[in-house]
């Protein structure tokens, strides 16, 4: 195993959520779900998002929770109003226990400041006939099915010899190190589902290929992978998409430089170049 292999092994390990972080996240999301369930009639509640799909990177923030409101229960009338009204009703309920809250068109966010597990995003949703859920989307509701999204990632990870999930964490780590220019980060995951092919090779070569691919394709529309909601990048205009393509080309250039240095036998220089993308997430061997 080479110096570069060791560096990527360290990177993979460093992107994993620790047991302490996982236990803290579990304790808190159970408190949130129990608090809501004590006042609202629910048919289900579960974790979703990248934390549930195991593609979340450190620092662990935005642990996503769906609380599924009983369409026959006392809160059923929330489905008749706007998504915003449902979010605000949930905010008022959570405010009886958590003081630091924010609400947007989709979720209520519970903030824990600078702690390791920094925030929780809670969405009030309703079951959808035919499968999936209705989730708040401003004045309207949008269809989504995070459990099917999770199934797609799990299947892709199996096809890629359990390397797809670590790979997604790596490319999200590059995005985070750059200040999260690609937002939502879920877009990186959706593109990877389509652009990463089997058999899966070494991480560094897959990263180079992926960056070349998204530089060409990030200006495209990227539909919801389960075919229910709007395009994942619907809120990103063409001008910004072209800017993101330029950012991806910059990442590609760094990847190609690192691979060339490795080819020339300059292994330490290659790792230092990769660290331009990953920062502290890639500790030196």
Domain with residue 216: its CATH number is 1.10.1410
pTM higher than 0.85, yes or no?
Answer: yes
pLDDT at 57: 56
Contact 278, 174 (CB under 8 A): yes
Same domain, 99 and 129: yes
Same domain, 88 and 128: yes
| Boundary (domain end) residue, out of 87, 114, 144 | 144
Q: Is 179 left (phi over 0), alpha (psi -120 to 50) or beta?
A: left
Output b/e per residue, 220-253; b: 16+ Cβ within 10 A. eebbbbbebbeebbeebeeebeeebeebbeebbe
Q: How far apart are CA 12 and CA 50, in angstroms?
A: 16
Same domain, 157 and 198: yes
* CATH code, domain carrying 70: 3.30.460.90
Contact 164, 106 (CB under 8 A): no
What's the farthest any 2 CA atoms get from each other in the chain?
68
Same domain, 137 and 164: no
Q: What are phi and psi of 166, to 5 degrees?
A: -60, -35
113 pLDDT above the threshold of 70: no
pLDDT at 248: 98
Q: Structural domain tally of the chain?
A: 2
Same domain, 69 and 50: yes
| Boundary (domain end) residue, out of 88, 116, 144 | 144
pLDDT at 60: 56
Same domain, 116 and 205: no
Give the three-state DSSP class for 133. strand
Domain, as residue range, for 266: 3-16+149-281
pLDDT in tens, 138-153: 999 999 998 898 899 9
pLDDT higher for 32 or 213?
213
Same domain, 103 and 154: no
| Residue 262 CA neighbour count, 13 Å, CB half | 18
Same domain, 88 and 110: yes
pLDDT in tens, 114-146: 555 568 899 999 999 999 999 999 999 999 998
| Boundary (domain end) residue, out of 97, 112, 144 | 144
Same domain, 156 and 264: yes
> In degrees, to the nearest 5, what angle opens at C-alpha 148 toward C-alphas 209 and 84?
105
Same domain, 128 and 198: no
Same domain, 201 and 274: yes
pLDDT at 17: 74
Q: How far apart are CA 171 and CA 278, in angstroms?
A: 9
pLDDT in tens, 248-272: 999 999 999 999 999 999 999 999 9
Under 8 Å CB-to-CB from 29, ≥6 apart: which residues? 47, 63, 65, 120
Give the three-state DSSP class for 75. coil
Same domain, 188 and 233: yes
Mean residue pLDDT of the chain comes to: 91
Under 8 Å CB-to-CB from 14, ≥6 apart: which residues? 58, 281, 282, 283
Q: How far apart are CA 245 and CA 228, in angstroms?
A: 26
pLDDT class for 54, splitting at 50, 70, 90? low
Contact 162, 146 (CB under 8 A): no
């Amino acid at each position: 195993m080479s110096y570069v292999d060791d560096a990527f092994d360290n990177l993979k390990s460093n992107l994993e959520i620790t047991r302490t972080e996982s236990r803290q996240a579990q304790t808190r999301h159970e408190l949130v779900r129990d608090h809501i369930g004590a006042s609202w009639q629910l048919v289900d509640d579960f974790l979703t998002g990248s934390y549930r799909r195991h593609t979340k990177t450190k620092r662990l923030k935005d642990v996503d929770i769906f609380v599924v409101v009983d369409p026959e229960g006392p809160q059923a009338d929330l489905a008749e109003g706007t998504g915003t009204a449902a979010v605000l009703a949930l905010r008022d309920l959570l405010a009886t226990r958590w003081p630091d809250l924010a609400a947007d068109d989709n979720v209520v966010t519970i903030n824990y400041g600078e702690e390791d597990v920094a925030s929780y995003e809670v969405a009030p949703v309703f079951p959808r006939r035919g499968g999936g859920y209705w989730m708040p989307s401003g004045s309207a509701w949008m269809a989504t099915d995070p459990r099917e999204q999770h199934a797609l990632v799990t299947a892709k990870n199996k096809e890629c010899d359990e390397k797809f999930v670590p790979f997604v964490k790596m490319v999200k780590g590059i995005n985070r190190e750059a200040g999260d220019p690609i937002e939502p980060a879920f877009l990186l995951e959706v593109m990877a589902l389509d652009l990463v092919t089997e058999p899966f090779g070494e991480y560094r070569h897959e990263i180079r290929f992926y960056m070349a691919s998204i530089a060409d394709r990030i200006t495209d529309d990227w539909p919801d992978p389960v075919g229910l909601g709007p395009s994942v990048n619907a809120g990103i205009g063409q001008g910004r998409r072209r800017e993101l393509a330029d950012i991806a080309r910059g990442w590609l250039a760094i990847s190609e430089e690192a691979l060339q240095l490795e080819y020339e036998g300059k292994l330490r220089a290659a790792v230092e170049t990769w660290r331009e993308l990953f920062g502290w997430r890639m500790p030196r061997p």
